[in-house]
A = this chain, B = another copy of it.
Amino acid sequence: MATVNKIENIAIIGLGLLGASLGMALRGRAYHRLGWTRRSEVREWALENNVIDETCEDIKDLLAKADLTILCLPIPKIMEYIETYADCWKPGAIVSDIGSVKEVIVNCGEKFLTPQGVNFVGGHPMAGTENNGPDAAFEKLYLNAEVFVTKTANTSTQALEQVKEFWESIGTKVVDLEMREHDNLVAHTSHISHITALALTETVLDCAPETLALRYSGCASGFRDASRISSSSPSMWREIIENNQPAVLEVVRELGKRYAMLSEIIENKDYDKLESEFSKGKKLRDAWIEYKNN
């Protein structure tokens, strides 16, 4: 098993919403923040705005210095960078990520980095908005967010602990779990809601032009919030579902059954049953809100 270096230099690769917000959250802390992203003007913006402490033109020079690297990239890019730059990290370094799915990424990380003596620990902060890019970044994005880190039979306990400590240092709650358990979990708690929001948005707004003006008038805060994540990046959500298809499909089917049951209740005019389902939903959600507020 690879050794683990003491963490002084942190490399943030990718300075979009998640990467730039991470740099902001790390302001004034003990780490030295290295940052890199493809566009040089964003690297300069990040330096000028105290999002990172240091950058350089060639990502390889930066990865060579990093004790901990957080890959804040789209899922396919995370895997591409791991493969492409596998020999750039120093032995004992830790590489982690923020990808919304874990099995495909962790398998890739272990395949390419373990032979180099580099530790890979999958990570996934439950943080984000419907907006993208550095302009959307803000210091408190991660505050009180839950962060999942995955452990496998190959994970170094020491590396796992260091990644957990790192995330805890910026005010998140860290939970470690097995990668398939993670992918099944987020299919429920996150991915499925993008499918229902899409079905809702299309049902409400995909209509004849002469109907649309009235529909615009009829949509208020309920629709605004229920559909918010429909404004997320289409390519990002395609990639997430593409890389978690079996788990997502299972939840899609479960929700389909529950929706069909509710449809039947409405068709049968069984309003007592409908009210008891609404009550059940309210109880379930209110209890979660209570948990979140504590």
Interface residue ranges, A against B (CB under 8 Å): 126-129, 145-146, 148, 173, 175, 177, 181, 185-186, 188-190, 192-206, 214-235, 237-238, 241-242, 245, 248-249, 251-256, 258-260, 262-263, 266-267, 269, 271, 274-282, 284-289, 291-292
Copies in the complex: 2
Q: Shortest 4 CB-CB distances between A and B: which pairs?
A: A189-B218, A234-B278, A238-B275, A126-B220
**In the complex, A205→B285 CA distance in Å?**
8
Given A146-B218, A188-B215, A237-B278, 7 extra CB contacts under 8 A: A188-B218, A189-B204, A190-B220, A192-B200, A192-B203, A193-B200, A252-B262
Could you jot down 26 A-B contacts, CB within 8 Å? A126-B218, A126-B220, A127-B221, A128-B221, A145-B220, A173-B217, A188-B215, A189-B204, A189-B215, A190-B220, A190-B222, A193-B204, A201-B281, A202-B277, A205-B284, A205-B285, A222-B229, A227-B285, A231-B285, A237-B278, A238-B274, A241-B266, A241-B274, A249-B263, A253-B263, A256-B260
Say yes or no: A245-B229 contact (C-beta < 8 A), given A193-B223, A255-B200. no
A245 touches B266 (CB 8 A): yes
- Give the residue name and chain of the B residue nearest to A206 (CB): B284
Residues of B within 8 A of A282 (CB): 230-234
Shortest Cβ gap from A51 to chain B (Å): 22
A220 touches B175 (CB 8 A): no
Shortest Cβ gap from A86 to chain B (Å): 27
Say yes or no: A222-B194 contact (C-beta < 8 A), given A206-B284, A230-B282. yes
**In the complex, A287→B198 CA distance in Å?**
15
Shortest Cβ gap from A15 to chain B (Å): 21
Residues of B within 8 A of A262 (CB): 195, 198-199, 252
Say yes or no: A195-B266 contact (C-beta < 8 A), given A145-B220, A220-B126, A280-B206. yes
A146 touches B217 (CB 8 A): yes
**In the complex, A277→B202 CA distance in Å?**
9
Residues of B within 8 A of A205 (CB): 284-285, 287-288
Shortest Cβ gap from A269 to chain B (Å): 6
Kindly identify which residue among B229, B233, B249, B255 contacts A203, using a CB–CB cutoff of 8 Å: B255
Say yes or no: A284-B245 contact (C-beta < 8 A), given A186-B218, A195-B259. no
